[in-house]
Amino acid sequence: MEFAREPVLTSALGQLSPTSAKPWRKISELRFKRVQASFKRFRKESKSKSQLMRRRTIAGNWKMYKTAQQTAVFFEQFNPLIEGVGNCEIVIFPVSINIPTAVQATEETAIQIGAQNLFWAREGAYTGETSGEMLHAVGATWVLVGHSERRQYFNESDTDALRKTQAAIEAGLMPIVCVGERLDDHKAGKAGDVLIRQFAGGIAGLTEEQFAKIVVAYEPVWAIGTGQTATPQIASQAHSLIRSEAEKRFGREAAQQLRILYGGSVKPDNIEALIRDPEIDGALVGGASLDPQSFAKIVKAA
**Residues annotated as part of the active site:** 147, 219
- Cβ neighbours of 154 (radius 10 Å): 12
Taking the alpha carbons at both ends of the chain, their separation in whole angstroms is 29
38-64 burial code (b ≥16 CB/10 A, e <16): ebeeeeeeeeeeeebbbbbbbbbbbbe
Query: For residue 152, what are the contacts with CB-CB under 8 A and spacing of at least 6?
Result: 13, 182, 221
Helix, strand or coil, per DSSP, at residue 284: strand
Provide the pairing of β-strand 142-145 with 89-93. Answer: unpaired
Rg (CA), the chain: 18
What span, in angstroms and rounded, lies between the C-alpha atoms of 43 and 95?
A: 30
Neighbours of 228 (CB within 10 A): 17
Return the percent helix, strand and coil in the chain, to nearest 5.
45, 15, 40
- The burial of 207, by beta-carbon neighbours within 10 Å (0-12 exposed, 13-18 middle, 19 or more buried), is given as exposed
Residue 7: count of CB within 10 angstroms of its CB: 6
Round to whole Å and give the CA distance between 5 and 234.
8
